[in-house]
Structure 1
C-alpha cells in the first residue's frame, strides 16, 4: 500500500470524484453532458465518448489533488490511457489524485426492502487488474429502499464479506450501502444501517482499513462516531439524486463526511462548451463541493 496515498485519503482536505458510471448508467451520463443516444450506434462508441468526457474532466487544470483526494473509476476507464499514460498512473503521477476501481456488477432484484449486489464472480480477476493498474482501492454499491432489519443486515453482511476479500488483495474497499433518498422510512433505515455497520466494524481487526460511502443522513451527525473509528479512513457522502446545491447544503452541516459525488459534481458540464467554459464550470463545481466538504457550517 502506498503510504503517501494512504495519508492523503486519511487526512487530506478535499473530496472524491466518482467517475464510475458503467454500462447501464453511461447513456444518462452522456445525455446530461449533451450527447444523446442518437449520437452513437454501438456500445463501443458509447464508451469511447464517455472516456473522452472523463479525460476532459481529469486533464482539466481545475482537477487535481489540491481539492480532489481520490477518484472512482469504471473498469474500462482504468484500462484506457490519458495522454498515452494508463489512467490510474496518470491520476497519481500528474494530478496527485488517488485512484479507486468500481468492482460491483450492479444490483440484484429487490427483496426485503433492499437490492443486494449481484454476485461479483470475477472479483479475483478484477483485484489482480486493479493492482496491476495502480489502484489504491475499490468501490461496491448496494441499495436500501426501506427499513427492513433483515434486508439491511443482509446488505451490510455482503458488503463486509466482499471487503474482507478485497483487503486480502492489498486494496482498501469502499463500502457503499446507499439508503435511497426516496425511502418512505429513510431515517429508520439509516438507524438500522448505523447499527449494522457498527457491528461489522467491531468485528474487524484493529489494523483494518475501510472507507464508507453513505447517503447524507436525515439525522445530522448520525455517522460521526463511525468516522472517528481508526479503521475507517473516511466517510464519504453520495449525492443520491439531490442537485449539487441541495447535496452541498446538506453536506455542509454534516460532521465527519466529505463528498463523493458523480452526477452532482459534473452538473452543468457540456460537450459543446469551449475548454475555457468547461474548465470554469468544473472549477466552480469543485469549489462548491470542496467548501461543503471542508468548511462545515453549524447544524
Structure 2
C-alpha cells in the first residue's frame, strides 16, 4: 500500500525533487566539484563518509525543507545511515517534510542498439522490503538513450516497466528514468520515439497504479505534456543532464507541469571550504532558482 500522506505531497506539492544519489562511480567527481580532491581519501569507505558529510550538511541547511523541496532521492548507503541522529529517510520526512526515494539501479550495461540498459539488480525484493520498512516512498532507476533507435528505446522502456512492476508490488512508487543524452545529434528524434513508446506502455499498467517519470529536458517546450497528463503518471520530473543550472532552469521553465530533479545543478557553487553562513546562503539561492523554474513551468 502506497503511503497516502507522502503521495499527496508528491502529487500536489509545490517544489522540486532533490537528487542526492551519487553512487560509487559518480562520487569522486561530485566530491571534486565540492572541493574535496582524491588525495583527501584513501579508501572507498572514506570517500563515502565524505560524500555523506556533504549530504548531511545540505539537508540541515535552513532552506532545505518541504516548503520548496517535495522529495529527495537517496543512494542506498545513505538510506542505511543517519542524518543528525535519525535514520536518513525518517529525518527527511519528519524533520524536513521531504518525501524520501531510493536509487536502486546498479549501473549500466554496454551500449547496444543505441542504448545502455540497466545491469541486473540482485536482491531487489529484499532491498525494497528494507526500504519500505525505513519509510522510503519510491525508487529511481536509470538507463540511457544515446541514439534515436526505435528498437533500443522500446527495449529500454520495457525493461524500466518490468522493474517498475516489481517496485509497485512492494507498495512503492517507481521513478522511471530513461535519460536521453543531451549531446547527441538526434536528441529531438529520440525524444519523439521515447514519448510515443512511454505513452503506449503506460497504458498497460493497471488503472490503480501510478509511476513517476524522470526525463531529460526536451528540445521542444511542453513536449512531454501528454505524459504529465497521463492517468498512470503521478509526476514528471526533469534531470539536468549536464546542462548548467542556468540553462536547466531556463529549459525547465518552458515545460508546464514538469518539475526539477537536479543533482549536479543542485550542488553547483557549494564547497567544503565554505563556512556555514556562506554555504547556507549559496544553497538557499540555488533552491530558490530551481523552485521558481519548477513552479513557473
Give the structure-2-normalised TM-score. 0.99
Post-superposition offset of 1:84: 1.3
SS in structure 2 of the partner of residue 143 of structure 1: strand
SS in structure 2 of the partner of residue 213 of structure 1: strand
How many Å separate the matches in 2 of 1:255 and 1:6?
20
Which whole-Å deviations, capped at 9, do the CAs of 1:247-272 have from their partners, x for residues lacking one? 00110111121000000011000000
Which whole-Å deviations, capped at 9, do the CAs of 1:75-117 have from their partners, x for residues lacking one? 0000001111000000000000000000000010000100000
Q: 1:264 aligns to what?
A: 265
Q: 1:225 aligns to what?
A: 226
Gaps of 5+ in 1: none
1:37-116 pair list within 5 angstroms: 37-116=38-117
2:173 is the counterpart of 1:172 = yes
Q: Does the aligned pair in 1 maintain the 2:256–2:296 contact within 8 Å?
A: no
How many Å separate the matches in 1 of 2:201 and 2:88?
33
2:278 is the counterpart of 1:277 = yes
Q: 1:236 aligns to what?
A: 237
Q: 1:250 aligns to what?
A: 251
How many Å separate the matches in 1 of 2:84 and 2:101?
19
Pairs aligned (count): 296
How many Å separate the matches in 2 of 1:82 and 1:219?
40
Q: Does the aligned pair in 2 maintain the 1:100–1:139 contact within 8 Å?
A: yes
How many Å separate the matches in 2 of 1:170 and 1:37?
40
Q: 2:31 aligns to what?
A: 30
Q: Does the aligned pair in 2 maintain the 1:17–1:71 contact within 8 Å?
A: yes
**RMSD of equivalent CA atoms:** 0.7
SS in structure 2 of the partner of residue 111 of structure 1: coil
Q: Does the aligned pair in 1 maintain the 2:245–2:268 contact within 8 Å?
A: yes
How many Å separate the matches in 2 of 1:30 and 1:154?
34
How many Å separate the matches in 2 of 1:289 and 1:84?
28
Q: 2:147 aligns to what?
A: 146
Q: Does the aligned pair in 2 maintain the 1:223–1:256 contact within 8 Å?
A: no
Structure 1 stretches of at least 4 aligned residues deviating more than 2 Å after TM superposition: none
Gaps of 5+ in 2: none
SS in structure 1 of the partner of residue 261 of structure 2: strand
Give the structure-1-normalised TM-score. 0.98
Post-superposition offset of 1:15: 0.3
How many Å separate the matches in 2 of 1:33 and 1:132?
32
How many Å separate the matches in 2 of 1:268 and 1:190?
30
How many Å separate the matches in 1 of 2:209 and 2:166?
12
